[in-house]
Amino acid sequence: MKTVAAALRAATQSLQARSDTDALDAQVLLAEVCGRDRAWLLAHGDRPLTPPQARRFSALVARRAQGEPLAYIRRRQAFFDRDFHVSPAVLIPRPESELLLELALAHAPPDFSGTVAEIGAGSGALGIAFATLRPRARVILTDISPAALTVARVNARRNGVNPTFLQGDLLLPLLARGERVDLLLANLPYVRSEDLPGLEVSRHEPWIALDGGAEGLDLIRRLLRDLPRVCQPGALALLEIGMLQGAEALRLARALRPRQVRVLPDLAGLDRVLYVHL
């Protein structure tokens, strides 16, 4: 029977070609199979795997070796220290998006009781993490994809919050209900259509969450156009953008004549968030 250490060695080797984090990936997957954490595995290398554990581990490693993201294999991803369910119906939450959430929290004091909407919420990571940290806020999550909203509902329950879910295209569900928000968060699709086929992310993650049209800004442009109609005076909108889109995003937002508009870089120094204070 294979031991934990031997199984990890073999899996690391078979992941080498595919992943820069081969050893870590192998540990995360075996931890999943054994129902233990990575520290336990490392301390118990001589333990034998049961045949069902060995079989399940091989199956998961084979999926990872095909390039499937760890988050889809494990059906979960941490974001802002919270646990989110993910499926191929939604984009996997990225650490870069935590900047957007930090800006939202800096804007909203702990007793903030305004209305917040996350548009194109997908897994709901931004809006749901916000809801856990600002419990008096009224939070609305929208998405055009019913399958994505199903995932977001699981996440709301998992994180103990109770937002409103609205299905529809960008701001239309808010406009239809006459909603006005104080804070708007969105990580819309912003990849240029022509870049998509060549990108690793597009092999597994939903195109509907990535494809931003010719310049990548189709959805952001449409959202900005309708923004004043769903915002309270003085509202803040925070939109994630691609690293090459800062200048054009600023130009689009300035057309709204906001009080303040900025593009903020992420920790890697790349343009990441469009900040529009109406």
- Contact residues toward ligand GLN (CB under 6 A) are 94, 187, 189-191, 201, 210, 240
User: Least distance in Å: CB of 114 to ligand GLN?
Assistant: 25
Nearer to ligand GLN, 25 or 240 (CB): 240
Nearer to ligand GLN, 10 or 208 (CB): 208
User: Least distance in Å: CB of 1 to ligand GLN?
Assistant: 41
Alpha-helix runs per DSSP H in the chain: 4-15, 22-34, 38-43, 51-65, 70-74, 98-107, 125-133, 146-158, 172-177, 201-204, 218-230, 246-254
User: Least distance in Å: CB of 97 to ligand GLN?
Assistant: 8
**AA letter at 21:** T
User: Least distance in Å: CB of 203 to ligand GLN?
Assistant: 12
User: Least distance in Å: CB of 240 to ligand GLN?
Assistant: 6
- Which residues does residue 84 pair with via DSSP β-bridges, in sequence order? 77
Nearer to ligand GLN, 15 or 239 (CB): 239
Nearer to ligand GLN, 18 or 38 (CB): 18
C-alpha span between 263 and 238 (Å, rounded): 10
End-to-end Cα, the chain, rounded Å:
64
Nearer to ligand GLN, 143 or 240 (CB): 240
Neighbours of 13 (CB within 10 A): 12
Cα 28 to its chain centre, rounded Å, is: 20
Give the residue from 100, 141, 150, 136 showing the smallest Cα distance to 118. 141
Q: Identify the sign of the CA torsion 30, 36, 41, 47.
A: negative
C-alpha span between 30 and 23 (Å, rounded): 11
User: Least distance in Å: CB of 210 to ligand GLN?
Assistant: 5
105: which residues sit within 8 A by CB, 6+ positions away? 130, 133, 134
User: Least distance in Å: CB of 83 to ligand GLN?
Assistant: 20
Nearer to ligand GLN, 94 or 222 (CB): 94
Nearer to ligand GLN, 93 or 114 (CB): 93
What's the chain's length in residues? 278
Contact 82, 150 (CB under 8 A): no
